[in-house]
């Protein structure tokens, strides 16, 4: 069957990672596609049993397409380090543990490199992203993008998420964690995979002119709060929250310092203290909740 994406097509973004969902939505919404996440549909996450990025992306997309009876787009991505024979690779997220603490994952990665080869020369590495589009009838199209570079330690920067603060792309001096989002997206592995997806699946669909933001990017803030793992990322989050208040303060749910602190007190009290998360993430989630 000949499938075609067109404006208005409803796609499931087959991920429960809010940062990844937010990034993919930013890529596809300008083409008029209607995106909803697997988490929003309460779809279970399948066990990733494949041995490649493409295999796991297709597995996730196939599961979501079948469960939702909608075309599904899934991403599987990770960091491959030459000195570690490609690790963590498809296990990149799992190195962060059940709490998705990438601060701990980066420390583990640095320790593994120290034990194996040391840091006398920058370890070569690459990010890989596989995108898989699967239709309800099982038809699948797969695309893969890579960006090569080297690692640094200690990590630098509070933008991005995951291993971004350790990775410097070839020809650049800043880590992905130090780059502004637009700089990173211009060369990222996900953008390169999406370019292949766009050529194959979106050709002929006019790109809508960028809309001027008129309100708060609540989804973006929520994704950032739920994904950050380090102090530097929290500092960046707070700076962005301050800028948001300067622009959209009238639409915040709190308008005085007393109201904000009262809301912060309530949001901290409401957080699940038994859930294992980096402490920086707790504070970011509480600050964002108080701002609403």
As annotated, the binding site includes 15-20, 47, 76-77, 161-164, 184, 189-190
User: Distance between CA 125 and CA 202 in Å, rounded?
Assistant: 31
Question: Do residues 62 and 135 lie in contact, with contact meaning Cβ atoms separated by under 8 Å?
Answer: no
- Strand ranges in the chain using DSSP code E only, listed in sequence order: 10-13, 34-37, 72-81, 124-134, 140-151, 167-169
Feature table: binding site for Mg(2+): 47, 76
User: Distance between CA 231 and CA 51 in Å, rounded?
Assistant: 33
User: Distance between CA 129 and CA 60 in Å, rounded?
Assistant: 14
Instruction: List 128's β-bridge partners, or say none.
Output: 78, 146
Q: Is 248 exposed, middle or buried (0-12, 13-18, 19+ CB in 10 A)?
A: middle
Q: Is-catalytic flag, 272?
A: no
Q: Kindly report the CA angle at 63 between 59 and 69, in degrees rounded to 5?
A: 140
Choose the catalytic residue: 75, 76, 232, 244.
76
Contacts of 121 (CB under 8 A, 6+ apart): none
3-state secondary structure of 101: coil
Residues with catalytic annotation? 76
């Amino acid at each position: 069957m000949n499938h075609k994406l067109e404006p208005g097509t409803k796609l499931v973004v087959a991920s429960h990672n809010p940062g990844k969902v937010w990034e993919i939505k930013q890529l596809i919404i300008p083409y008029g596609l209607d995106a909803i996440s697997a988490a929003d549909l309460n779809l279970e996450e399948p066990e990733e049993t494949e041995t490649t990025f493409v295999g796991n992306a297709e597995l996730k997309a196939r599961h979501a397409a079948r469960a939702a009876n909608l075309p599904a787009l899934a991403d599987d991505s990770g960091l491959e380090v030459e000195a570690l024979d490609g690790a963590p690779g498809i296990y990149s997220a799992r190195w962060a543990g059940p709490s998705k603490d990438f601060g701990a994952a980066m420390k583990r990665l640095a320790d593994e490199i120290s034990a194996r080869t040391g840091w006398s020369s920058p370890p070569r590495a690459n990010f890989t992203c596989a995108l898989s589009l699967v239709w309800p009838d099982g038809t699948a199209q797969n695309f893969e993008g890579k960006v090569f570079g080297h690692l640094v330690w200690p990590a630098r920067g509070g933008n991005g998420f995951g291993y971004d603060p350790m990775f410097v792309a070839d020809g650049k001096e800043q880590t992905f964690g130090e780059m502004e989002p637009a700089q990173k997206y211009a060369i990222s592995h996900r953008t390169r995979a999406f370019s292949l997806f766009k050529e194959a699946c979106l050709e002929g669909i006019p790109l809508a002119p960028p809309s001027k933001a008129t309100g708060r990017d609540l989804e973006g803030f929520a994704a950032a709060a739920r994904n950050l793992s380090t102090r530097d990322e929290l500092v960046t989050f707070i700076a962005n929250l301050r800028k948001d208040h300067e622009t959209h303060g009238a639409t915040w749910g709190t308008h005085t310092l007393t109201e904000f602190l009262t809301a912060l007190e309530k949001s901290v009290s409401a957080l699940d203290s038994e859930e294992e998360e980096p402490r920086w993430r707790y504070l970011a989630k509480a600050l964002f909740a108080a701002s609403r």
